[in-house]
A and B are shown apart, each in its own frame.
Chain A
């Protein structure tokens, strides 16, 4: 990074992503924390901060004061402790806060944990709250919730509808992406969906919210992940291939879900966050070797590639079709299988993206390894892409 101390990712651990996992929040958070600490080689007493994140929409029991509870459970005395929440990008936001504290020199190490135990999309718990009063107080705003909105899907559908009409994108163009992501996931034992699918499978799957089909949707998943950041001084004493955080960016639009004004098929926050990260790292998208994009729905994922500057506006679907984002393509995107096939435990998703890029840069991603990558990136978002975080990472010998 240009300003302040260098930051490294020195340890990480995750559970498989599955429809449901054995164990409670504390069980899963404890398990990934201990594994990440062990892998990092940092003595437990040297961990100086703990930040946790949980699913933004869920109102699960015991969310309050969970960070102190976990710190007590792990027996770690800290200089930074808390929960960070801003929808789907939460755990990436937590990583950014931890990185900033290390940059200032205030601390040298931090453990970041994300856990998801509750299904989020397509089977929202709010779905069963049929009284208008319950729905009025819902996540999707008083006006939309009263009209029966119980999940973000209709907003994504209306955004994608505009994009498809403006750029004459046909359903066949979009259907390539879920097939590609499933092929990537077939090499990832952590992924929830590993059986191959075809273009016809995607096109024949049920239209849930026009124009979005079932196989273009992320899965509801459970999962947990932990990442440990450290300063250069601490990292120097550890073995293994070091992953340097080269830069980051963050931007939020003054919108929540569907924008009331402006073009609903554009994600300006993604553009701003990406440009900030590129500038700080001193790179362009052409320099990237491997990327994980949040992409909760196939159409939105392709639109995000364009906002990230990977492809010209209106051309990303064609690029995916031509294999440019495949593992052996010019810019491999979501080798993990992405949200569509790895699965989407929202509270943990940004950490899972970071872990996949770290595994790729360390050339440990057996079964889906990109050829010799040096520079990687992750992007995460919240709402209907109303805000975004971008992190750029580099593998060092």
Chain B
């Protein structure tokens, strides 16, 4: 069952976005968080892009990011599959990256604050590795 779902998922990933998106999800499977660097204007972007949204250059490449960032906003969300307890989710500004990242956060909503420091972590769902966030101590 898991195998069938994953196949359908990867087909969806290949068909629904651009090539940069497929590379991003491939990266997640190796627990690497990839953003896009534009070599023309030297800007980092998320979500990954096949061209630079700022200067439209196609001279872009995937680049691994530390995954460090801070919470821009947060809420909780019902879980679609299990209908269990709501999960905490957030929009995160990654260090030096243009474009926010949405994902779940491994922390109860009551403990969340805007501006808090987080870093990328990984969870396995339906046979695929996905990114999430966890709190991190301030500093380098």
- Residues of chain A having any CB pair with chain B under 8 Å: 127, 129-133, 135-137, 142-144, 146-150, 153-154, 157-159, 161-162, 165, 209-212, 258-261, 264
- Using CB atoms, name the residue of chain A closest to B102: A144
Cβ contact within 8 Å between A147 and B126: no
| Residue of A136, A153, A211 with most partner-chain B CB within 10 A | A136
Residue of A nearest to B11 (CB): A133
Extra contacts, 11 of them, besides A146-B130, A148-B80 (Cβ < 8 A), are: A132-B125, A133-B9, A143-B47, A143-B102, A154-B77, A154-B89, A158-B75, A209-B76, A209-B77, A260-B98, A261-B99
Kindly identify which residue among A127, A149, A159, A211 contacts B102, using a CB–CB cutoff of 8 Å: A149
Residues of A contacting B101 in the complex (Cβ-Cβ under 8 angstroms): 143
List residues of chain A with CB within 8 A of the CB of B5.
131-133
Min C-beta distance of A168 to chain B, whole Å: 13
Q: Are A258 and B100 in contact (CB under 8 A)?
A: yes
Instruction: Give Cα A209 to B78, complex, Å.
Output: 8
A261 CB contact (under 8 Å) in B79, B81, B100: B100
B116: Cβ under 8 A from any A Cβ: no
Inside 8 A of A259's CB, which chain B residues have their CB? 100
Task: List residues of chain A with CB within 8 A of the CB of B51.
Answer: none
Known contacts A142-B16, A148-B79, A158-B91: A131-B8 contact under CB 8 Å:
yes
Residues of B within 8 Å of A153, CB to CB, are 77
B79-118 Cβ-contact flags toward A at 8 Å (1 or 0) = 1110000010111000000111111100001000010000
Set of chain A residues within 8 Å of B128, measured between Cβ atoms:
132
CB-defined contacts of B77 to chain A, threshold 8 Å: 148-149, 153-154, 209
**Contact partner, A161, options B12, B75, B100, Cβ 8 Å:** B75
Q: Which of B8, B11, B91, B130 contacts A258 (CB 8 A)?
A: B91
Task: Judge whether B139 is part of the interface by a CB distance below 8 angstroms.
Answer: no
State which of B21, B75, B126 has its C-beta within 8 Å of the C-beta of A154: B75
Distance (whole angstroms) from the CB of A254 to the closest CB of chain B: 9
Chain A residues near B17 (CB-CB < 8 A): 142
**Residue from B76, B98, B103, B126 in contact with A132 in the complex, judged by beta carbons closer than 8 Å:** B126
Could you tell me if A260 and B80 are in contact, using CB atoms closer than 8 angstroms?
no
What A residues does B9 contact at CB under 8 A? 131-133, 136
Beyond A133-B11, A137-B16, A264-B91, is A158–B81 a contact (Cβ under 8 Å)? no
CB closest residue in chain B, given A157: B75
Chain B residue nearest to A153 in the complex (CB): B77
Q: List 14 A-B contacts (CB under 8 A).
A: A129-B80, A130-B81, A133-B9, A135-B80, A136-B13, A137-B12, A144-B102, A150-B78, A150-B80, A158-B91, A161-B114, A162-B73, A209-B75, A260-B98
B74 at the interface (CB under 8 A from A): yes
Does residue B122 face the partner (Cβ distance < 8 Å to A)?
A: no
Chain A residues with CB under 8 A of B16: 136-137, 142
Question: A17: shortest Cβ distance to chain B, in Å?
Answer: 25
Distance from B31 Cβ to chain A, minimum over Cβ atoms (Å): 16
Q: In the complex the two chains form, what is the Cα distance from A243 to B7 in whole Å?
A: 57
Report how far A134 CA is from B91 CA in the complex, Å: 23
In the complex, what residue of chain B is closest to A150 when comparing beta carbons? B80
